Amino acid sequence: MARSGGGRRRPTLEMVAERAGVGRGTVSRVINGSSQVSPRTREAVHNAIAELGYSPNQAARTLVTRRTDTVALVVSEHRDRLFTDPYFADVIRGVSSVLHERDLQLLLTTAQTEEEHKKIGDYLSGSHVDGALLVSVHRDDPLPRRLEEAGVPVVHGGQPHAADRTGGVFVDVDNAGGARSAVRHLLDIGRRRVATIAGPQDMSAGVDRLTGYRQVMEDAALGVDERLVTAGDFSVEGGARAMERLLETGVDLDAVFAASDLMAVGALRVLRERGLRVPGDVAVVGFDDILVAQHCEPPLTTVRQPTVRMGQEMARLLADVVIPRTGQAESIVLDTELVVRDSA
């Protein structure tokens, strides 16, 4: 009997089995990646799938394998930051490249408020993903602990804050070492009254970069004038406000180490508005080496961190070690590199 409406019947598992000349169970084993199928049979099934345009029912497959083939990337910032800060774009690019190679899907979401963290925690704990990557986690963020208690495999992008460390694995850069190289460079070019615009102190990156600054100033027997220490939020406007605060103290300064390139851009804008020459009056060094650092006026001396690679290592660690539990997962710390340009 002909189908009404002229619609095309959706291919089924049974149709694939008939086309390939095998049983339904064999088709299921091929789809689920079983090694108990001969190469010849596997090829016949894949050919039948391609010819019919068959798409496995993901929900049914999940019930059988207990895998969703989906990984969540949670950025604990306002969604606007996700699209304005190049750091996140690079991390996403690195994560995506690895997940694509492993045929895994990426679920990208942001969470900033307590309510948003609760909602995403409920969702991720409900077997909707195989694991999660957490980026830009702040102190007292409830999500890491919630996922740990639910048994969700997690890799952190950046070391969790000291007050909240739960023993989870992470991929980070040598934030303190990068900061030390930046401040040493400023001292090497003859600057002595070095201020810093630190990152948020409820994040390990902000804490560690400030620690690196303090270590070099103390080691150089210059000490730290607390009036030359302020903090921003890793944004351009945060850097501008911090630079204003430094200048309003009235304390003489001849250099600024900003804990992110975006904050350095904000600082450069304020210095220019105040009629101060960079680097003549005030030398400036940033941290990140995002694209805008090359096109500032003047081009920005900065600390390069391998952000794309950071995303790649996070995804690799989660997909290849943490989710399948193929071995002891070990955290990774990547090196940084000082890039000297005209601002210092």
Alpha-carbon distance of 156 to 170, in angstroms, equals 4
Alpha-carbon distance of 161 to 109, in angstroms, equals 21
Residues 248 and 131 in one domain: no
Residues 25 and 60 in one domain: yes
Q: Which domain holds residue 124?
A: 70-173+308-334
Residues 205 and 323 in one domain: no
Whose tokens are 């096109």? That residue is: 295
Show the 3-state SS of 131-168: EEEEECCCCCCCHHHHHHHHCCCEEEECCCCHHHCCCC
Least-confidence region, from 27-31, 84-88, 334-338 = 27-31
Supply the DSSP symbol for 8.
P
Residues 246 and 325 in one domain: no
The full DSSP string for 44-73 is HHHHHHHHHT----HHHHHHHHS---EEEE
Residues 168 and 237 in one domain: no
Residue type present at position 168? G
Per DSSP, what are the bridge partners of residue 255?
194, 283
Residue 3 has pLDDT above 50, yes or no: no
Residues 95 and 140 in one domain: yes
Which pLDDT tens digit goes with each residue over 8-22?
567 777 888 899 999
pTM: 0.79
Q: Which token pair is 50?
A: 């391609």
Residue 66 has pLDDT above 80, yes or no: no
Q: Is there a domain that residue 218 lies in?
A: yes
Sign of CA dihedral 336, 165, 82, 109: positive
Span 24-51, average pLDDT:
83
Contact call for residues 287 and 180 (beta carbons, < 8 A):
no
Q: Is there a domain that residue 343 lies in?
A: no
Span 151-155, average pLDDT:
92
Specify the higher pLDDT residue, 139 or 177: 177
Residues 112 and 197 in one domain: no
Residues 29 and 145 in one domain: no
Residues 107 and 200 in one domain: no
Sign of CA dihedral 264, 270, 275, 281: negative
CATH of the domain at 227: 3.40.50.2300
Residues 114 and 96 in one domain: yes
Contact call for residues 212 and 173 (beta carbons, < 8 A):
no
Residue 324 has pLDDT above 80, yes or no: yes
Cis amide linkage into residue 153, ω under 30° from 0: no
Give me the pLDDT at residue 5, please. Answer: 42
Span 199-214, average pLDDT:
95
Residues 329 and 251 in one domain: no
DSSP E strands in the chain: the ranges are 70-75, 105-110, 131-135, 154-157, 169-173, 194-198, 229-231, 255-258, 283-288, 301-304, 332-334, 337-339
Q: Is there a domain that residue 219 lies in?
A: yes
Span 311-336, average pLDDT:
92
In the chain, count H helices and then E strands.
14, 12
CATH of the domain at 42: 1.10.260.40
Give me the pLDDT at residue 8, please. Answer: 57
Number of domains forming the structure of the chain: 3
Which pLDDT tens digit goes with each residue over 181-194?
999 999 999 999 99
Alpha-carbon distance of 95 to 235, in angstroms, equals 23
Closest by CA to 287, choosing from 308, 307, 317, is 307
Specify the higher pLDDT residue, 2 or 187: 187
Residues 230 and 296 in one domain: yes
Alpha-carbon distance of 253 to 265, in angstroms, equals 18
How many of the other CB atoms lie within 10 Å of CB of 286? 32
List CB contacts of 44: < 8 A, sequence separation 6 or more.
20, 21, 22
| Residue 199 buriedness (CB in 10 A; 0-12 / 13-18 / 19+) | buried
